[in-house]
Structure 1
Amino acid sequence: MKTLLFTILCFSLMGVTHSQVWLDNTCPIEKETSSEDYTSAKSNNLLTLVINQEGKLLMNGIEKEGISEIQFKEAVYQFLTNPNKDKTKADSPKQAIVALGSYGEHDAYELILKYVREVYLYAWDTSAEEKYETFYADLGCKQRKKIRNRDFPYNVIELNSEDDTKKPSFSPGVPPFAGDVIDN
């Protein structure tokens, strides 16, 4: 019970301190998760978060209507760390991949991305406190890189990002459908 309260308190404090900041742009994350990494990973190492046409969150295909911010962050953190060695969660944080997608444009997508980043910041802060007895943000780039590479690599792939870079085709045929239908 104490652990749960501590986790809730930490997530709340982290939400306040990091709510508008994604890192500080001083130490870029060099490694990007590719679509090949995503498709070749074992299913238990994948956490797929999709915003459907109705704007509702699906976690690995299961609708999570009414899930609170804290419950969501705890679920993502549990997936990454897998303290109970559950076979449906990641084997290790190094192998965990979080995939984000959306059918159409929804404000919830940016919010979910922000929450996932806050979970990673919490994991990095926890690891930094254990190893260096300081916050992750206070570390130099080399120490940050060690934490990211050894403990919690940022394996997040945005599934929609590839569609945004494609140019429209001028060839005849049916135009691509992105799934953003607006009812009249």
Structure 2
Amino acid sequence: MKTLFSTVLYLLILSSAHSQVWLDNTCPIEIEISNEDYTSSKSNNLLTLIIDQEGKLLMNGIKKEGISEIKLKETVYDFITNPNKEKTKADSSKQAIIALGSYGEHDSYDLILTYVREVYLYAWDTTAEEKYETFYANLDCKKRKKIRNGNFPYNVIELNSEEDTKKPSFSPGVPTFSGDVIDN
């Protein structure tokens, strides 16, 4: 019983430490990508991940039912790095923009965002190992910024991050449509 409790405690500490690596507020990691940056970018530099009304993932408009976590992460990493210099993927990691959106609220949205963040963390760790022979989390803010700005900027835009502040109208006519319909 003690070993089970200690194992669970160890896993909880490990998972909270991992989340602190991403969310440690010692160094700002997110650069704001504007809607203008998103709309003016070349189409090959955009990877759009949308959760539709059914909760299914659309990747650049193509339904990806049943895609595994590993396959999604590999696809995102391959899009950002473009090792084979394909014309359908990002010209460079600095120009790659990943857009996330959802029609309604879905648990899978947060999961997809976590996967994208893990891909960036992997890219930053790999670059930190090559340049400084240590993990990204062990670097000071100046070295972290060099890796992010020089190699892999966090170019992620959440398309529906602004809350819809419109109140429903009680006047006759067609009601406002915020993009999601829940069937009873």
Superposition TM-score tier, normalisation by shorter sequence? 0.7 to 0.9
Letter of the structure 1 residue corresponding to residue 116 of structure 2: V
Q: Distance in 2 between matches of 1:113 and 1:67?
A: 15
Aligned to 1:156: 156
Map of 1:71-82 to 2, 5 A cutoff? 71-82=71-82
User: What is the TM-score of this pair, normalised by structure 1?
Assistant: 0.84
Distance 1:91 1:24, change over 3 A: same
Calculate percent identity across the aligned residue pairs: 76
CA contact 2:30–2:154 (8 Å) conserved in 1: no
Q: Which runs of 5+ in 1 are unaligned?
A: 1-15
**Contact map agreement 2:33 2:155 (CA 8 A) in 1:** yes
Give, in angstroms, the shift of residue 165 of structure 1: 5.9
| Contact kept? 2:93, 2:152, Cα under 8 Å | yes
Which residue is equivalent to 2:27? 27
Q: Name 1:50's counterpart in structure 2.
A: 50
1:5 corresponds in structure 2 to none
Does structure 2 conserve the Cα–Cα contact (< 8 Å) formed by 1:33 and 1:156?
Answer: yes
Displacement of 1:28: 1.1
- What letter matches 2:180 in structure 1? D
Contact 1:18–1:118 (8 Å) recurs in 2: no
Letter in 1 for 2:178: A
**Equivalenced residues, count:** 169
Deviant stretches of 4+, over 4 Å: 16-19, 169-175
How far did 1:29 drift?
2.6
Q: How does 1:104-183 map to 2 (within 5 A)?
A: 104-162=104-162, 164=163, 166-168=165-167, 174-183=174-183
The code of the aligned residue for 1:45 comes to N
Aligned counterpart, 2:96: 96
Indicate conservation of the 8 Å contact 1:104/1:180, yes or no.
yes
SS at match of 1:161: coil
The answer to which of 67-76 and 168-177 deviates more is 168-177
